[in-house]
Amino acid sequence: MKKQKILEAEPVTHNVVRLKVEKPKGFEFVPGQAVDFALDTPEWKDELRPFTFTSLPQDDHLEFTIKVYPERHGVTDQIGKLKAGDSVLLGDVFGDIHYKGNGLFIAGGAGVTPFISIFRHLNRKGELGNNKLLFANKKEEDIIDRKFFKNILGSNFINILSQEEVDGMEHGYITKELIANQVEGEGAHFYVCGPPPMMEAVLKELKDLGVPKERIVHEEF
Ligand SMILES: Cc1cc2nc3c(=O)[nH]c(=O)nc-3n(C[C@H](O)[C@H](O)[C@H](O)COP(=O)(O)OP(=O)(O)OC[C@H]3O[C@@H](n4cnc5c(N)ncnc54)[C@H](O)[C@@H]3O)c2cc1C
């Protein structure tokens, strides 16, 4: 594990924090990938949890966007208390989500993190194309990086809220119809990332819609 210093710790939403962390020399990853992460204390150093890089490979620092669950009394509860100057431990880099071509990105909550890095990457290269993001959350206050996505994607940024009705946003859970309405023509890729129940439901909907497995890229959070 590599010991790295936290450069900045800032809130993103009411329960999500963003950590800017020193980048080890020669450190490499692909947008969408994650790393085994631990707290640098005797009590927590062996509790590895995966977190996704939301920075770009060429940036001079690493960035993580992390949802904190205080009620679990686990690692993220501790992460919520970190501040600049503290250190963290970084291990192996891994992850199944990579950009394979134009398509629909479907995220639930903190499952949007691999897509932050991918969309930043596409935006920087001027290759956003007709990629769309369908982002499912409970409430409006839970939407991570709303301004960023709205700015770069405009009407290709579709929000759906399960516990709140808000003008201009869908209400309820992701349905087959909602997915089908976002996709024109054949050949689109589907990128899915979120908590287990959402993943299960969306993968079944994609199967029912007849999307071939090789066009689905997914990871469970
Ligand atoms: C490849 C990958 C990349 C990821 N990247 C990110 C990321 O960038 N940002 C991010 O925010 N998250 C990310 N996650 C999810 C993140 O790893 C988990 O949220 C994190 O590990 C939770 O750690 P924890 O110690 O707080 O809680 P856990 O280890 O999940 O839980 C601690 C204890 O809480 C209890 N518990 C567990 N689940 C629940 C539940 N649903 N309800 C009630 N109690 C529960 C259990 O008793 C458990 O032992 C990623 C996951 C994967 C697989």
Over 80: is that where the pLDDT of 37 sits? yes
Q: How much is the average pLDDT of 132-148?
A: 98
Encoding tokens for residue 126? Answer: 């001027």
Q: How much is the average pLDDT of 215-221?
A: 93
Over 80: is that where the pLDDT of 186 sits? no
Residue nearest to atom 7 of ligand 1 (CA): 51
What CA–CA distance (Å, rounded) separates 194 from 139? 16
Cross-sheet strand order for the sheet of 49-52: 49-52, 34-39, 87-94, 2-13, 16-22, 61-67
Residues 11-24: tens digit of each pLDDT: 999 999 999 999 99
Q: Is the CB of 34 under 6 A from ligand 1?
A: yes
Q: Is the CB of 49 under 6 A from ligand 1?
A: yes
Contact 19, 87 (CB under 8 A): no
How many CB atoms are closer than 10 A to CB 155?
Answer: 8
Residue 96 has a pLDDT of 84
CA of 167 to the centre of ligand 1 (A): 31
Global pTM value: 0.95
Rounded to the nearest integer, the mean pLDDT of the chain is 96
Q: Is the CB of 111 under 6 A from ligand 1?
A: no
Residue 208 has a pLDDT of 96
Alpha-carbon dihedral 73, 48, 81, 106, rounded to 10 degrees: -90
Ligand 1 atom with least separation from CA of 49: 21
